[in-house]
Amino acid sequence: MDFMLQNYYPMIIAIVMAFVITVILGFPSIPLLRRIKAGQSIREDGPQSHLKKAGTPTMGGLFMIGALVVTTLIVEGASKDMLVLIFATIGFGAIGFIDDFIKVVLKRNLGLRSHQKLALQIIMAVILAVYQLKVSAFGTHVYIPIADINLNFGIFYIPFIVFVVVAMTNAVNLTDGLDGLASGVTIPVCLFLGMTAIGYAYEGIGVFSGAVAGACAGFLVYNHKPAKVFMGDTGSLALGGAISAIAILMNVTLIIPVIGFVFVAEALSVMIQVYVFKTTKKRVFRMAPLHHHFELGGWSEIKVFWVFSIASAALCIIGALIMW
């Protein structure tokens, strides 16, 4: 038992270190974001209670990413897989940063056009897919949970990985719509991935996963209601990229829809709402993404945060029963 616990020590150290560094970086970062007037603009067609959040500093994902990178390099070092994980996180974070910068600093409300953002995400996803294809012993095989087999996707491997990565990054982005919500849902997902990584002898990936969870917990110090800072697309796209990259490198991509079903539900609610409204002019949800539906139904932001975060933890337990 002691030997098994020792395997988790680096991951635990990464969680604590990333938490502390994120909190420390937040002290100078938030006033700096205010100084450059990086204030969040609030959509007028959203919940009216959110209008008072206008002007709250955004792009806080920058100090989350900084804490994550410093932690992983100190605790684990610059292994090949670690550099790929950092590359994916920074790469997707950079896409979000460009979008945020255009919107909140240059004051151009649209930011990156949707096709520009999608193209950049696809390029990042293709790089991840090609790396895994060339380096991993799995090749084009993908692990199928429950069936406990590796299925050869052949020529469909790269399109499949690209779909997963783009879908996941945008799903996390959509979830980031309430104080603390994206972090609260991400923490159990990354703890599950970290524990799975340690169990599969991927210590470096376990350290990285723990660092992501710790950075999210540290960010919650400033992002819990009422939020003093938002992570912006900088943070949410970085988190989506990190989760996707972790799953891809361990070849557990298909467990993501289970442990990350809260993210999936948020994305599906938007797609369903748009499709039904365009075809019938009726709405399925009071408002999409899903968290706004519950808000307009009378739930407080704090209740949505706790229910969604606990649901995420429960889904990770189901994932553990499937995988472990």
Query: How many Å apart are CA 220 and CA 243, to the nearest integer?
Result: 18
**And the tokens for 178?**
């309430």
Q: pTM score > 0.75 for this model?
A: yes
Confidence (pLDDT) at 282? 92
Confidence (pLDDT) at 49? 67
Specify whether the CB–CB gap between 219 and 207 falls below 8 A: no
Tens digit of each residue's pLDDT (9 = 90 or more) over 236-267:
999 999 999 999 999 999 999 999 999 999 99
Confidence (pLDDT) at 43? 63
Phi then psi dihedrals of residue 142, to 5 deg: -125, 130
What's CA 28's distance to the chain center, in Å? 24
SS3 sequence, 54-100? CCCECCCHHHHHHHHHHHHHHHCCCCHHHHHHHHHHHHHHHHHHHHH
Name the β-bridge partners of 152. 141
Place of tokens 């995988």: 323
Query: How many Å apart are CA 83 and CA 57, to the nearest integer?
Result: 30
Query: How many Å apart are CA 255 and CA 67, to the nearest integer?
Result: 27
Confidence (pLDDT) at 51? 66
At 133, is the secondary structure helix, strand, or coil? helix
Total count of domains within the chain: 1
Does residue 228 register a pLDDT over 90?
Answer: yes
Confidence (pLDDT) at 45? 60
Of 243, 268, 253, 256, the C-alpha closest to 187 is 243
Tens digit of each residue's pLDDT (9 = 90 or more) over 71-110:
999 999 889 999 999 999 999 999 999 999 998 878 777 7
Confidence (pLDDT) at 107? 76
Confidence (pLDDT) at 148? 87
Specify whether the CB–CB gap between 23 and 218 falls below 8 A: yes
Tens digit of each residue's pLDDT (9 = 90 or more) over 138-151:
889 999 998 889 99
Confidence (pLDDT) at 23? 97
Confidence (pLDDT) at 42? 65
Mean pLDDT across the stretch 1-23? 86
Confidence (pLDDT) at 36? 84
Domain of residue 231, residue span: 2-323
DSSP labels, 248-273: HHHT-GGGHHHHTHHHHHHHHHHHHH
In percent, the amount of the chain with pLDDT more than 70 equals 95
Tens digit of each residue's pLDDT (9 = 90 or more) over 38-84:
777 666 566 766 667 778 999 999 999 999 999 999 999 889 999 99
From first CA to last CA, the distance across the chain in angstroms is 17
Tens digit of each residue's pLDDT (9 = 90 or more) over 115-124:
999 999 999 9
